[in-house]
Amino acid sequence: MIVALAGGVGGAKLAQGLYHVSPPDSLAVIVNTGDDFELFGLRISPDADTVMYTLAGIANPATGWGVVNDTRATLEMLGRYGYELWFQLGDNDFATHIARTAQLRAGDSLTEVTRRLSRALGMRAALLPMCDEGVATLVDTPAGRLAFQDYFVRRRHADPVSGIVLDGIEAATITADAAQAIARATVIVVCPSNPVVSIGPILAVNGYRSALAASSAPRVAISPIVGGKALRGPADQMLAGLGHDVSAFGVAQLYGGLVDGFVIDHADREQAERIGALGMRVLVTDAVMRDEPDRQRLAREVLDFAADIGSSKR
Amino acid sequence: MIVALAGGVGGAKLAQGLYHVSPPDSLAVIVNTGDDFELFGLRISPDADTVMYTLAGIANPATGWGVVNDTRATLEMLGRYGYELWFQLGDNDFATHIARTAQLRAGDSLTEVTRRLSRALGMRAALLPMCDEGVATLVDTPAGRLAFQDYFVRRRHADPVSGIVLDGIEAATITADAAQAIARATVIVVCPSNPVVSIGPILAVNGYRSALAASSAPRVAISPIVGGKALRGPADQMLAGLGHDVSAFGVAQLYGGLVDGFVIDHADREQAERIGALGMRVLVTDAVMRDEPDRQRLAREVLDFAADIGSSKR
């Protein structure tokens, strides 16, 4: 059983690689829900949907999010009704949010709803929201404290970030499904997602750090920072704004004590020694996933690396 | 000021005719909301939407309901998620229901929401829901008591109807906007809609019968039954099931004391005398609207008939 912790597009890429190189039903992806928000009265779970669409094989390859060949008739009509269209939602995507919202309002948990939606799309990995409680990632900027999607999408992550607040985190607890997946895991993979606003919120939910610490499985993280830059999104700016080192090493520091192995790109090979000094084994490889074969190649390398760590950990 | 009482497609046709032959801003359509229901967690107002789309010039001419050239991506994706697709909703249509639901949940009244949506589509007539409270038309059949859309759409109005129940009607009251429109009306038109489940619910809401009785404006109804058959839908079967005469005369009986004039088709000219004996003036004309020019022609005839009644009423 492989457990992967993931955020949006970057995490979904490696999760898809893991999904394709491992037996069916052997992968559980625990996904950040701190980015979730309500729009047009509908509950949107951007990271969960990105992983779901990607692993179901219907993601838009041009963007990494949304459904391939989706149309925008519903959104455009909402524009006619006077709504501001700052968040892109396709017609297929609307169905996801309508179904999720209706099922949540009917009293089902987010875990149960996400399971039902992902199974309906034929996804055989377990897709597990980090918690069933509402947690909202807020971003402190010179323009004030912003809701995550406001910062990320509407304002195109252009504001310098001086702090992150996880609203509601005190009341959030690891779900029974996620706890069970981690307890049964033979490999734990922290995907190359934003360490601050994708993996950070998962680790901040009550129960994850202790569950991960209690696991005897090898735990491996992949750096989302290559050559001092984020492969995607504002992780580099965020690390800088929060006073962290903007490097693979900086990310490794954040995961200190939490993972047994750390995967970095050839571009960062000179950081291997410093990362090793944090108490992690280091794998230097091509950590950039350009296409689908890349995702599977990196996934295999991560699993081999983990197996190697596992054999020495026992 | 013209006030029209209407249900769905049949009523929308005459309302559109009235809209086009009268000055802008001079028409108010009071529409049945007893057919409203919730689907996929969204509030759907079929009759209001049919009138709105028709008067905004975007109705699907092939069906009379829905938006012309609308696509069905959202609905089909909901099918993938396991929902039963018995009620047709296009992608544009979904936007209407999403917007309405979000605005109602935000605390706005149905009157306010309907005003905002219809204005956004460029409709210059006032579209007024019969009430802001929830009223649900239920239909008694051998298969039991059915929600209206269950009877009408899902079961294709195939069940014999033995009774109509308007759930919630005791708490429903004429809105301030509708009361004001009727008080200011110089003509009141009861459209050729189903007298039992379209016009009936409007008249059953507290305040309508007294407001109509208090009006000095000429009040004219148009028969939706021609040659003993409903022009559209199950009005004929319903009248029979409820023990009414299945004829223009049967409809006129239902409107006895409520209207000053009644419009029937040439096919029913032999009923003119009996209808006249109910205390109504009768206009015999071509009461079937086959195309848009027909709608305007009938609208003009109705307004002329009303003006004639008005001049003798004063």
Residue B68 touches chain A, beta carbons under 8 Å: no
pLDDT, average across residues B223-242: 94
Residue B73 touches chain A, beta carbons under 8 Å: yes
- Could you report the per-residue pLDDT of A190-205, keeping only the tens digit for each? 999 999 999 999 999 9
In chain A, whose CA is at the least distance from the CA of B41?
Answer: A102
Identify all chain A residues contacting B92, using CB atoms and an 8 Å cutoff.
73-74, 77
Q: Check B91 against A73: CB less than 8 A apart.
A: yes
CB atoms within 10 A of CB A171: 11
Residue A24's pLDDT is: 82
Residue at token pair 């492969």: A231
Query: What is the DSSP code (8-state) at residue B242?
Result: T
At residue B176, does pLDDT exceed 80?
yes
Q: Check A82 against B116: CB less than 8 A apart.
A: yes
Q: Check B73 against A82: CB less than 8 A apart.
A: no
Q: How confident is the model at residue A314 (pLDDT cuts 50, 70, 90)?
A: low
d(CA B134, CA B168): 6
Lowest mean pLDDT among A270-284, B147-161, B182-196: B147-161
The two tokens of residue A100 are: 């999720």
Residue A312's pLDDT is: 84
At residue B314, does pLDDT exceed 70?
no
Residue B225 sits at the vertex; the CA angle it makes with B266 and B133, to the nearest 5 degrees, is 140
Edge-to-edge strands of the sheet including B136-141?
A: B144-147, B136-141, B163-167
d(CA A260, CA A283): 11
pLDDT, average across residues A105-111: 97
Tell me the sheet residues that pair with A141. Answer: A144
**Whether the Cβ atoms of residue B263 and residue B283 lie closer than 8 Å to each other:** yes
The two tokens of residue A219 are: 């735990």
Identify all chain A residues contacting B75, using CB atoms and an 8 Å cutoff.
95
The B residues from 27 to 56 touching A (CB cutoff 8 Å) are 40-42
Angle formed by the axes of helices B46-55 and B91-105, nearest 10°:
120
Phi, psi of A280 (to 5 degrees): -120, 145
Q: From residue A130, how far is each of A9, A177, B274 by CA, in Å?
A: 17, 10, 73
In chain B, whose CA is at the least distance from the CA of A75?
Answer: B95
Compute the residue count for chain A. Answer: 314
Residue B70 touches chain A, beta carbons under 8 Å: yes
Q: Check B80 against A42: CB less than 8 A apart.
A: no
- The one-letter code for the residue type at B143 is A
**Whether the Cβ atoms of residue A47 and residue A128 lie closer than 8 Å to each other:** no
pTM of the model: 0.95
- Could you report the per-residue pLDDT of A225-262, keeping only the tens digit for each? 999 999 888 999 999 999 999 999 999 999 999 999 99
Residue B273's pLDDT is: 97
- Torsion of the alpha carbons at A37, A42, A46 and A51, rounded to the nearest 10: 140
The complex's ipTM works out to 0.94
Ordered structural domains, chain A, with CATH: 2-132+174-313 (3.40.50.10680), 136-169 (no CATH)
Best A60, A76, A91 residue to mutate vs chain B (most B CBs within 10 Å): A91
Residue A70 touches chain B, beta carbons under 8 Å: yes
Residue A119's pLDDT is: 97
**Whether the Cβ atoms of residue A228 and residue A271 lie closer than 8 Å to each other:** no
- Could you report the per-residue pLDDT of B30-81, keeping only the tens digit for each? 999 999 999 999 999 999 999 999 999 999 999 999 999 999 999 999 999 9
Sequence-distant (≥ 6) Cβ neighbours of residue A107 within 8 angstroms: none
In chain A, whose CA is at the least distance from the CA of B67?
Answer: A77
d(CA A8, CA A252): 20
Best B74, B78, B84, B108 residue to mutate vs chain A (most A CBs within 10 Å): B74
Instruction: Report the half-sphere exposure of B80 (CA within 13 A, side-chain side).
Output: 20
pLDDT, average across residues A32-49: 97
d(CA A149, CA A139): 10
Q: How confident is the model at residue A270 (pLDDT cuts 50, 70, 90)?
A: very high
CA distance A51 to chain B (A): 17
CA distance A70 to chain B (A): 8
d(CA B130, CA B119): 18
At residue A14, does pLDDT exceed 70?
yes
Residue B153 burial by Cβ neighbours in a 10 Å radius (0-12, 13-18, 19+): middle
At B299, is the secondary structure helix, strand, or coil?
Answer: helix
Sequence-distant (≥ 6) Cβ neighbours of residue B305 within 8 angstroms: B220, B261, B263, B281, B283
Identify all chain B residues contacting A92, using CB atoms and an 8 Å cutoff.
73-74, 77
Q: How confident is the model at residue B24 (pLDDT cuts 50, 70, 90)?
A: confident
In chain B, whose CA is at the least distance from the CA of A69?
Answer: B73
The two tokens of residue B25 are: 């801003």
**Whether the Cβ atoms of residue B14 and residue B38 lie closer than 8 Å to each other:** no
At residue A313, does pLDDT exceed 90?
no
d(CA B241, CA B238): 5
d(CA B31, CA A256): 65
Q: Nearest by CB to B91, which of A42, A71, A83?
A: A71
d(CA A193, CA A14): 10
pLDDT, average across residues B229-247: 94
In chain B, whose CA is at the least distance from the CA of A104?
Answer: B41
With b for 16 or more beta-carbon neighbours within 10 A and e for fewer, the A36-64 pattern comes to bbebbbbbbbbbbbbbbbbbbebbbeeeb
Q: Nearest by CB to A120, which of B42, B82, B90?
A: B82
Q: Check B74 against A81: CB less than 8 A apart.
A: no
In chain A, whose CA is at the least distance from the CA of B78?
Answer: A95
